[in-house]
A and B are shown apart, each in its own frame.
Chain A
Amino acid sequence: MSEREIMEYDVIVVGAGPSGLSCAIRLKQKKPELTVAVIEKGAEVGAHILSGAVIEPEPLDELLPGWKDTPPPVCIPVERDEIWLLRPGGKRLRLPTPPQQKNHGNYIVSLGAMCAWLAEKAEALEVDIFPGYAAADIRYTADGAVGGIIVGDMGVDRDGQPKDTYMQGIEIHAPLTLISEGVRGHLAKRLIARYDLAADCDPQTYGIGMKELWRVQPGKAQPGLVQHTAGWPLDSHIYGGSFIYHLDKDRIAIGFVCGLDYQDPEFKPFEAFQQMKHHPMVREMLEGGEILSSGARAISEGGYQSLPKCEMPGALLIGDSAGTLNVPKIKGVHQAMKCGMLAADHLAETGAVEGFDAKLRDSEIVRELHRVRNIRPAFYKGFWRGFIRAAIETVTLGKLPVTTAVHADDTALKKVDEYSAPERHWVERDLPPRDRLASVYFATTEHDEDQPVHLQIIDPEVCTTRCVTEYNNPCTRFCPAQVYEMTGEGDQMALQINAANCVHCKTCDIKDPYQVINWVTPEGGCGPIYQNM
């Protein structure tokens, strides 16, 4: 193996999401002489990101004044909010809209399209953006600090051997690295472990978000309508609910979030999403429509209690790689952008990482998280107790002098013989997609099949010896893309990994009860190509 070629930048940003791009833009605005690069594993900016999304525009106003004159391609002002409690048997109850969910002044956007739009702004400021390249490893300097990243090799076959198209990944050296990989970043995971950044915080906890973009029959979509539901099809011990955001051009963005701290080992998050669509209120909107796109991504739910230390020698964690999403608002984009901008301001001012973490903890970003810190954990005791506690926390503006601890997800599953699921009153389904494979088709996910499998199983014996009896292989159910399948019976039983289906959501890395699944990045340019998601 020859020496890797090296490119040098003042700053390298890993991940072209809202925090990374905001940081890059702000850096160039403050210090145009800095050389800044953003590396992104998706084939184009926006390919791997999806969200509802209803965003608060203040960070956009600050970063790009006048942005409303040339807004991102999908950008619909919110007209009104509705909160619904869905019940079995097609019933529903309209709930009052809590303050966190009053979206007047906010916008429904496609986060992917917005990132592509931000990327154009960044390029206009001479940020070099490189989609289609994966940051596979951290490059460390001689004194053990982060000194940039190593791009993954391309053209490697399934057995790790170079193919004819083999291209060695270059090293990007930079004294400052921003880790903005989003939720459960694979490099962030390593860095948090290496620098013990989670020593003083609670474990991070997550949800899985699944989304479909639909084109519905004319008249069914009411542009600007923001709907959220709770209740059915979940039972009171699974946190979650749906979002239904009405766009223009007869499109509706519909999605479902489940907390990954659910206990039922047999639970199927994808199935719950599909059930929700069959509630008469939702079905009515979708009937006769077609799916344009679908996908899934984990969401960080730990908030304040789970925020790790965000600075380390040579690098910063920003956005949801740290976990800045505000769960009661179900909004993370404004937080991610503000975090990226704060990092940029800090770096522009001091030229070093030290002091960022303190500034972050002292900022409105963390104050916002602090105000709502007890709401998500309140639901650990079930829906109704959570609802009441959430109301109390909201009314008291989070000023009560207690902080509920946040628990991990991978230890939440009960064993199969210790848990019996309540009756959830699920129905027969007939709306598309018929199953996860059909859903994956709409994610337009593609991986060259002749490459190393990027889902590393640290101890494969566990699957067929312990997990099968204790939890009945839940990976075959929690993965929204049917990557994992158990084939054969008895001693022929084996774990089959359909790596090509992976949509890079990271749920498996999070929820696996033995923590033997390690998600690493596949070859750059692979994975989903989300459009307008």
Chain B
Amino acid sequence: MKILVGIKRVVDYNVRVRVLPDGSGVDIDGVKMSVNPFDEIALEEALRIREAGNADEVIVVSAGGDEVQQQLRTGLAMGADRAIQVKTGEPLQPLSVARAFLKVVEREGVELVLLGKQAIDDDNSQTAQMMAALWDRPQATFASEVKLDGGKASVTREVDVGLETVEVDLPAVVSVDLRLNEPRFVKLPDIMKAKRKPLETVSLEDLGVAVEGNLEIGSYEPPQPREKGIMVEDAAQLMGELKNRGLL
């Protein structure tokens, strides 16, 4: 079985992001870029599935300019077998990413797609669900556990009230949540090995996907600062305030 893992190049989760003074975007000049943390978790799961003997190949794919090759190489260093760059000059909206990745799925005969539940830059959380929709296959989102059994997967999902389990027939798309696993560190020698693993570049045109998007991105602004609060004198006054505001 082949597994496809989608990874995105994003601003490192430690970076203190700030909005540019002119509101045109976020200041990412010189900031550290990394593999989206949820995508690392997805890749880790794919590697474990392969190591358990339930898959033969793990392919990492990323859409973007040549700078994403850095993240693809990280994926290869973690243990992926092959990498594919879907080359594009401009940022893609989720539907286009879903379409592009689906073309790769079809071309490669992938049976399991693992994606992070959301990218920590746009926080859209759409690509996995969209791929499943276009593919007319199951989706299992926010996975905290994935168990494969023949051509089926039992996926435990983190939902607001607790944990929901669904069973899906492969091929399927799974988006992963934080608690699924803890990604492995990369061994230095594997960084060297990764340089020799195949990294293929295909363009969106090659895949037959048009760049389009129905969302127009406008201006950015920093979050509203909290309004100034009040001070109270004692516990009685505090309780009074809380009751007045309907909080207690």
How many whole Å from B69's CB to the nearest CB in chain A? 13
- Kindly state the separation between the CA atoms of A500 and B219 in the bound complex, as whole angstroms: 36
Beyond A292-B18, A442-B16, A444-B15, whether A167 also contacts B31 by CB under 8 A is no
Interface residues contributed by chain A, number (CB under 8 Å): 32
Asked if A357 lies at the interface with its beta carbon under 8 angstroms from chain B, I say: no
- Chain B: CB-nearest residue to A47: B32
Q: A7 touching B192 by the CB < 8 A rule?
A: yes
In residues 3-33 of chain B, which contact A (Cβ within 8 Å)? 12, 14-16, 18, 21, 27, 29-32
Q: B15 touching A531 by the CB < 8 A rule?
A: yes
In residues 397-416 of chain A, which contact B (Cβ within 8 Å)? none
- Kindly state the separation between the CA atoms of A3 and B191 in the bound complex, as whole angstroms: 20
Q: B31 touching A531 by the CB < 8 A rule?
A: yes
- Kindly state the separation between the CA atoms of A219 and B189 in the bound complex, as whole angstroms: 50
Q: B184 touching A165 by the CB < 8 A rule?
A: yes
Q: B188 touching A532 by the CB < 8 A rule?
A: no
Q: A444 touching B14 by the CB < 8 A rule?
A: yes
Beyond A441-B16, A444-B16, A529-B14, whether A151 also contacts B188 by CB under 8 A is yes
Asked if A489 lies at the interface with its beta carbon under 8 angstroms from chain B, I say: no
- Kindly state the separation between the CA atoms of A194 and B185 in the bound complex, as whole angstroms: 32
In residues 432-458 of chain A, which contact B (Cβ within 8 Å)? 441-442, 444, 446
Residues of A within 8 A of B30 (CB): 73-74, 110, 113, 116, 531-532
Q: A154 touching B185 by the CB < 8 A rule?
A: yes
Asked if A164 lies at the interface with its beta carbon under 8 angstroms from chain B, I say: yes
Q: Which of B12, B14, B21, B187 contacts A215 (CB 8 A)?
A: B21
B-facing mask of A7-48, CB < 8 A → 1, else 0? Answer: 100000000000000000000000000000000000110010
Residues of A within 8 A of B182 (CB): 164-165
In residues 161-207 of chain B, which contact A (Cβ within 8 Å)? 182-185, 187-189, 191-192
A-B CB contact pairs (8 Å), 28 listed? A7-B192, A43-B12, A44-B32, A47-B32, A73-B29, A74-B30, A110-B30, A116-B30, A128-B192, A130-B188, A130-B191, A151-B188, A164-B182, A165-B182, A167-B184, A167-B187, A170-B187, A170-B188, A290-B18, A441-B16, A444-B15, A529-B14, A529-B32, A531-B15, A531-B30, A531-B31, A531-B32, A532-B29
Interface residues of A (CB under 8 A from B): 5, 7, 43-44, 47, 73-74, 110, 113, 116, 128, 130, 133, 151, 154-155, 164-165, 167, 170, 172, 215, 250, 290, 292, 441-442, 444, 446, 529, 531-532
Interface residues of B (CB under 8 A from A): 12, 14-16, 18, 21, 27, 29-32, 182-185, 187-189, 191-192
